[in-house]
């Protein structure tokens, strides 16, 4: 992977733009759009029938034509198309939107049929001019913005000037106007256009989390109320733990589903917002007296939306943690109840064992008596047999005399057996 990682910094080289120029920029979401579809669309351009799919594997492609160029870039969530051509003479002085589109070097219908949902579309006019007078620059681009109020900034602390109104037109495009002094290098002009276009694209991508955050608001409010109700009901005894657990599981599933579906969008919003701030910093803006800068406008309008998304993401994560704590508390409550039931069961088992032991002791006493009776009976029969054989023995007296001895021996033998059994355990 060394070569691939090394070449990553060269994967998207800065364009070289010769002034005056018109940049037509379109960024579309590529979710569900394959490289094959984008490749097929690029092949519809003049003289591109020989374009191969392998040329699109690097996620960057620049197609050069006579007098213009088209750049294709595929990113994780969106794909960008940038057309750079010569600026029509009447574009910033009196031409209409329809006239401008008719003077594009590619068919406007090709732009409309780019596969994917449009994120950003920009028409950027870039010309040479004196940037010493900011008000004169705004007057120069007045027709380009149809006389609407604009924002303007000196870029790079004085190497160029950028003007925009961040407004969408009926055509779906917004417009930007850049003025650079004579002698500005083509590479610098390319970097200026790239930063401004990326700024607008990342702004829209960052804002994609805002509708999601607003849509989740009512659900989060209802879920928080439901969790509070579950927690309150845990204090009482009128609801079974099983019912509470089932309700809590349903709530946890709903929250985890929302987390799985939308947390990526919230994380992406923060990442894109970081890129927006980075691009604003790279512009190194200086204010034109009486005009709000692009970065100031962007941060003031974008910050509340980003804060809303961040608060919703934090609220979702906090709710998930609270559900986890409530679940742990409920499990503890169930464990305590189960432990109490187990103690009652053990107490019942202990009482049963005591009764069994008492019964066993009684049975053992009877067993000693029974065994002694059989032994004495054998002694009696043995004495009678000996008397019949001629021995001078009184069998009844012998049996009576041996009764204490037999009882003692059998009792002692039983004790030894108990000791051996208990000693083995």
> Does the pLDDT at position 337 exceed 80?
no
**pLDDT-derived band at 304, boundaries 50, 70, 90:** very high
pLDDT of residue 237: 65
Average pLDDT rounded to a whole number, residues 62-78: 90
Strands 174-180 and 117-128, by their bridges, are parallel
How buried is 240 (Cβ within 10 angstroms: 0-12 exposed, 13-18 middle, 19+ buried)? Answer: exposed
- The helix or strand, by DSSP H or E, that contains position 312, with its residue range, turns out to be helix 294-388
Determine how many CB atoms are found less than 10 A away from the CB of residue 80. 21
421 belongs to a structural domain: no
- Cα separation, 197 vs 206, in Å, equals 14
pLDDT of residue 189: 92
Lowest mean pLDDT among 99-103, 184-188, 416-420: 416-420
Residue linked to tokens 């960024």: 27
> Does the pLDDT at position 249 exceed 70?
yes
Tokens describing residue 93? 């002085």
Asked which of 280, 313, 344 is the last residue of a domain, the reply is 344
User: For residues 86 and 65, is the Cβ–Cβ distance under 8 A?
Assistant: no
- Residue 226 CA to its chain's centroid (Å): 23
Domain co-membership, 83 together with 133: yes
Strands 78-86 and 117-128, by their bridges, are unpaired
Domain co-membership, 44 together with 111: yes
The predicted-structure confidence for 102-138, as pLDDT tens digits, reads as follows 889 999 999 999 999 999 999 999 999 888 888 888 8
Mean per-residue pLDDT over the chain, rounded: 86
How buried is 125 (Cβ within 10 angstroms: 0-12 exposed, 13-18 middle, 19+ buried)? Answer: buried
> Does the pLDDT at position 8 exceed 80?
no
**pLDDT-derived band at 422, boundaries 50, 70, 90:** low
249 belongs to a structural domain: yes
108 belongs to a structural domain: yes
pLDDT of residue 361: 66
Asked which of 125, 150, 184 is the last residue of a domain, the reply is 184
- Cα separation, 210 vs 78, in Å, equals 18
User: For residues 85 and 15, is the Cβ–Cβ distance under 8 A?
Assistant: no
pLDDT of residue 142: 85
Q: What angle, rounded to 10 degrees, do the helices at 294-388 and 209-233 form?
A: 40
Secondary structure (3-state) at 238: coil
Lowest mean pLDDT among 203-207, 299-303, 363-367, 417-421: 363-367
pLDDT of residue 423: 64
Domain co-membership, 146 together with 239: no
User: For residues 116 and 17, is the Cβ–Cβ distance under 8 A?
Assistant: no
Domain co-membership, 94 together with 243: no
356 belongs to a structural domain: no
Instruction: Give the domain range for residue 397.
Output: 361-416
Measured at the alpha carbon of residue 94, what is the angle toward residues 180 and 15, in degrees to the nearest 5?
Answer: 35
pLDDT of residue 71: 93
114 belongs to a structural domain: yes
pLDDT of residue 363: 66
The predicted-structure confidence for 343-386, as pLDDT tens digits, reads as follows 888 888 888 777 777 676 666 666 777 777 788 788 778 878 88
pLDDT of residue 77: 93
End-to-end CA distance of the chain: 66
Asked which of 318, 344, 370 is the last residue of a domain, the reply is 344
Domain co-membership, 132 together with 51: yes
Domain co-membership, 108 together with 221: no
User: For residues 95 and 147, is the Cβ–Cβ distance under 8 A?
Assistant: no
Average pLDDT rounded to a whole number, residues 398-419: 79
The predicted-structure confidence for 271-303, as pLDDT tens digits, reads as follows 999 999 999 998 898 888 888 889 898 888 899
**pLDDT-derived band at 414, boundaries 50, 70, 90:** confident
- Cα separation, 382 vs 372, in Å, equals 15
DSSP result, 143-207: GGGTT---EEEEETTTTEEEEE-----TTS-EEEEEEE-TT--HHHHHHHHHHHHHHHHHHHHHH
The predicted-structure confidence for 22-57, as pLDDT tens digits, reads as follows 999 999 999 999 999 999 999 999 888 888 988 888
- Cα separation, 52 vs 143, in Å, equals 42
Number of domains in the chain: 3
Domain co-membership, 132 together with 249: no
Higher pLDDT: 10 or 77? It is: 77
Domain co-membership, 107 together with 219: no
Domain co-membership, 248 together with 312: yes
3 belongs to a structural domain: no
98 belongs to a structural domain: yes
Measured at the alpha carbon of residue 254, what is the angle toward residues 251 and 258, in degrees to the nearest 5?
Answer: 140
Residues, the chain: 425
Half-sphere exposure of 324 (CA within 13 A, CB side): 7
Domain co-membership, 31 together with 64: yes
pLDDT of residue 214: 93
pLDDT of residue 424: 54
> Does the pLDDT at position 340 exceed 80?
no
Cα separation values, 251 from 220, 224, 309, 314, Å: 11, 10, 22, 18
Domain co-membership, 337 together with 404: no
172 belongs to a structural domain: yes
Domain co-membership, 126 together with 224: no
- Cα separation, 131 vs 137, in Å, equals 7
99-103, 202-206, 368-372, range with greatest mean pLDDT = 202-206
């Amino acid at each position: 992977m060394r070569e691939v990682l090394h070449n990553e910094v060269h994967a998207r080289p800065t364009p070289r733009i010769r002034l005056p120029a018109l940049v037509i920029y379109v960024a579309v979401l590529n979710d569900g759009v394959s490289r094959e579809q984008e490749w097929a669309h690029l092949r519809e351009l003049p003289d591109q029938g020989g374009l191969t799919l392998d040329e699109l594997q690097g996620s960057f492609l620049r197609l050069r034509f006579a007098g213009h160029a088209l750049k294709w870039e595929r990113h994780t969530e969106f794909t960008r198309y940038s057309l750079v051509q010569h600026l029509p003479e009447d574009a910033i002085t009196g031409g209409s939107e329809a006239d401008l589109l008719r003077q594009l070097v590619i068919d406007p219908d090709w732009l409309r049929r780019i596969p994917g949902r449009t994120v950003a579309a920009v028409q950027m006019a870039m010309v040479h001019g004196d940037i010493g007078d900011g008000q004169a620059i705004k007057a120069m681009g007045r027709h380009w913005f149809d006389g609407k109020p604009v924002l303007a900034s000196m870029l790079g602390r004085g190497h160029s000037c950028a003007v925009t109104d961040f407004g969408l037109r009926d055509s779906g495009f917004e417009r930007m106007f850049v003025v650079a002094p004579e002698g500005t290098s083509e590479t610098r002009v390319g970097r200026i256009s790239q930063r401004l276009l990326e700024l607008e694209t990342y702004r829209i991508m960052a804002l994609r989390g805002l509708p999601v955050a607003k849509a989740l608001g009512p659900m989060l409010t209802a879920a928080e109320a439901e969790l509070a109700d579950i927690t309150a009901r845990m204090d009482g005894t009128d609801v079974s733990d099983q019912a509470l657990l089932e309700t809590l599981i349903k709530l946890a599933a709903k929250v985890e589903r929302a987390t799985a579906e939308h947390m990526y969008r919230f994380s992406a919003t923060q990442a894109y917002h970081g890129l927006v701030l980075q691009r604003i910093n790279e512009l190194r803006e200086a204010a034109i007296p009486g005009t709000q800068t692009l970065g100031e406008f962007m941060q003031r309008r974008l910050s509340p939306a980003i804060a809303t998304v961040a608060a919703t993401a934090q609220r979702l994560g906090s709710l998930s943690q609270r559900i986890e704590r409530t679940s742990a508390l409920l499990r503890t409550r169930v464990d305590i109840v189960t432990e109490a039931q187990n103690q009652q069961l053990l107490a019942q088992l202990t009482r049963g064992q005591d009764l069994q032991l008492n019964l066993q002791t009684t049975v053992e006493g009877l067993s000693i008596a029974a065994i002694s009776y059989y032994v004495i009976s054998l002694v009696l029969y043995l004495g009678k047999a000996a008397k019949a054989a001629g021995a001078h023995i009184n069998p009844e007296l012998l049996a009576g005399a041996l009764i204490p001895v037999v009882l003692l021996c059998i009792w002692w033998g039983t004790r030894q057996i108990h000791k051996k059994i208990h000693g083995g355990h």
